[in-house]
Chains A and B, each alone.
Chain A
Amino acid sequence: MEVRRDVFQAIADPTRRAIITLIAIQAMPPNALAEHFNTSRQAVSKHIQILTECELVKQDQQGREIYYSLQIEKMKEVDQWINQFRKIWETRFNQLDKVLSTMKKNKK
């Protein structure tokens, strides 16, 4: 089976969501990042690898250290998906406004 790599895969895991939250604030080297988690360094590293494959995390070399930073643009894909859902409810409730307005008139 082909491995799925995109933003939805990225946010499907709680550790990866925590990593995203941390590096959204500032870029971090692997050691500093791993200190925030109780899991092994390898486990964190595996999540970073998935996030990189999902194009959500970028690596920058700064001197001897590698820094991980978040690709904010990519997170917008989640927004777009949620917006479609929001739109349904907006439309639905705007229709209900009209129905209620008619009901009010008929009662008078």
Chain B
Amino acid sequence: MKTDLLFDFTVDKAAQTVYINREFDAPQSLVWDAFTKPEIIDQWWAPKPYASKTKFMNFEVGGRRFYAMVSPDGQERWALQRYTSISPKTNFKMYNTFADQDENPELPGSEWDFKFSEHNGTTIVSVTIYNESLARMERMIEMGFKEGYALQMKNLEELLATLSQK
């Protein structure tokens, strides 16, 4: 198995955008399935010990995925994703917002762009996440890593909320 797989991660705070490039030792069609089929996404999307729970997912333009990150003590943080563009096997875009358990979105959100390309049997996935606010960017972190960082994050959340009101 290939071990020297590419992983780039860049945050452009001025542009409020995160860029992630990652190479996978698998053909493009398989990687595409892993990003677009709920039963597979739920196996890897949440960083352990969190779990990803997809309530519903209609992978089509205008369709939505409603899912929760579930903490080890059972706390659920919901998010809604609406697919805005799909080119099978090569690209899809979605608009992501946090939500309450009744599917009410909490604005602002973020725009996600996933690109897939295969090179000699490995697949490169390029993710671009544009956040409508810096506070939003911080919440994305909080969603995955609440425990341990709770206090630090709370301070930061307040701070970024203040900044974004300018």
Residues of A at the B interface (CB closer than 8 Å) are 1, 4, 6, 8-9, 11-12, 14, 17, 78, 81-82, 84-93, 95-101, 103-104, 107
Contact = CB atoms under 8 A, between A and B. Distances in A.
A23 to B, nearest CB: 18
B24 A90 contact: no
A40 B9 CA distance: 37
Interface of B: 1, 5, 7, 9, 11, 13-14, 18, 20, 22, 24-26, 30-31, 33-34, 40, 43-48, 134, 137, 140-141, 144-145, 149, 156, 159-160, 162-163, 166
Given A12-B163, A14-B14, A88-B141, A104 B9 contact: no
Contacts of A14: 14
A99 B44 contact: yes
Contact of B34 (A11, A85, A103): A103
A92 B44 contact: yes
Q: Taking chain B's interface residues, is the majority helix, strand, or loop, or is none over half, making it mixed? A: mixed
Contacts of A84: 141, 145, 149
12 contacts: A4-B163, A84-B145, A84-B149, A85-B11, A86-B9, A91-B48, A92-B44, A93-B44, A96-B44, A100-B30, A100-B34, A104-B26
